[in-house]
Chain A
């Protein structure tokens, strides 16, 4: 087992290296020299040179121990992403944004999973009926409405017009007040695709032999669904759930933008507006690391739980 974990850990090295290579190509090669942009239009050559020196843009791209390429890797491994346009270290900004982001993505996540799994079970009860088709149609219709429209109309009606919730985040508000509406909108938009996925999982499971056996020996539908189907359907459900966790740290770009929640999504939108490559680079790298780690965790959990997984 230890050997398996170590071997699995080694597999992550080329992936992390690949992500660093990609961000280097994107931001250093294609993105190029941004010192002119930072310095502004009326900057003297001296200022530009200074900025170039500070960001290490005056160093050679490759072929030196102190090249931009080597430094890109070195800095990423110690999580040093330089300073953003407003001179604050990028890593500080990211640390500050994590808590507000999680405060809306975590409740949203649990809400979506809980509601869609329970609805999927209900739909499995009435499979093939008109209720089933109707639910499916509502799911697809919900998925077809753009995310932005949900947010805008939700904010307009529930917060602005009817005043159930505060429109915008202000530092004095408690978590319940400012997070309620974004979480609600997030849950409504998330249910469509998730319910459809979990329904497919449940119905696939209904086709297995053990379900036929269970029905044949005279168990009630309820018993079959809760005792047999749900337990076996847990495997794909847990996979989907665990792999969704890294995305929670990313926050929700659009929800945070509309409700002014100072999380990572907001940070990212600001960075796009000001073309701040340093922040985008850091966010890309960190989220990739999280994704790789959670992927590793799922694989190891599988190996621990399921004896059929080979350890080669």
Chain B
């Protein structure tokens, strides 16, 4: 018996998972990898600012309050991006602004995934009345223009105390963006779950007695979760831009630097020929958005098998 097995040549064809396969394809796209490095650099800067603030490190790059030179010093070798009206370094403000923007975009993504994904899964899986109610909620939200909805939420939530927690600055911004942006992901997940719920693996899971919750969270969601990642790598950009607009309108962080607030300062400064604060914010936003856009597209092309077959 054992001899027979020994004689047969067993060629193990190793299957690759969707993720492995996708990542392999992604690695071949050099430009997308460059973009990933840029994105990671922004995240690293954010993490660094957090750590430095937490341990109260006296590192010059994060001490944006320090007066480094005269007011409105144009950019040169010593002052890379020049200084603002108070003589604070624009470069340091830009670095700190990265923290504000990335934090807002991350928290907003988290909130909208936490609302959108479960709601979409429940609606798609159970259908019936539950589905109708959830579809009604998101149809209502999506019938109001996006920017108006965010502004309405931001204006109302700002400086309000909810459940004993005072909403200020950044918290208002990401709550407003997060609470209004889950519609797209909810709709996407609902559609996907409807397609998946009668497939064999779900039937199999049901046949050996898995509960509905187990089927949704252990079987169905892992099979559609790559769509969430793709969607959010592209949506992240719009969150960053929304944060800029909200900060610009004075609905964001009040006394800490953010890219939107820097652009707001530039509104008056430009007439005096002070362009560097504006340019610094624009460049900072431009690189992260470009990297996210290109990387998100590459991620979608590599991870979505349906697109690949065409």
Contact = CB atoms under 8 A, between A and B. Distances in A.
Given A15-B140, A144-B289, A254 B270 contact: no
Contact of A145 (B143, B162, B286): B286
B145 A19 contact: no
Interface string B227-252: 00000000001000100110011110
Interface string A24-45: 0011001110000000000000
Interface stretch (A99-107, A147-155, A220-228): A147-155
Interface in B109-152: 136-137, 139-141, 143-145, 147-149, 151-152
A272 B155 contact: yes
B294 A140 contact: yes
Instruction: Give the interface centre of A19, A152, A246, A287 by most chain B CB atoms within 10 Å.
Output: A152
**Interface class of chain B by DSSP:** helix
B156 interface: yes
Given A140-B294, A287-B145, A19 B140 contact: yes
B108 interface: no
B271 interface: yes
A284 B148 contact: yes
Contact of B286 (A23, A144, A247, A273): A144
A157 B146 CA distance: 30
Contacts of B168: none
Contacts of A268: 148, 151
A31 B145 contact: no
Interface residues of A, number: 47
B144 A149 contact: no
B187 to A, nearest CB: 15
A280 B143 contact: no
B144 A287 contact: yes
A165 interface: no
Interface string B45-59: 000000000000000
Nearest to B266: A152
B126 to A, nearest CB: 19
Contact of A288 (B144, B147, B278, B293): B144
Contacts of A288: 143-144
Nearest to A249: B145
Interface of B: 136-137, 139-141, 143-145, 147-149, 151-153, 155-157, 160, 162, 237, 241, 244-245, 248-251, 259-260, 263, 266-267, 270-271, 275, 278, 281-282, 285-287, 289-290, 293-294, 297, 310
Give me the 6 closest cross-chain CB pairs, A-B, nearest first. Answer: A18-B140, A144-B289, A144-B290, A149-B282, A31-B156, A288-B144
16 contacts: A15-B143, A19-B144, A141-B286, A143-B293, A144-B237, A147-B245, A152-B263, A153-B278, A156-B275, A247-B145, A250-B148, A272-B151, A273-B250, A277-B155, A283-B148, A292-B143
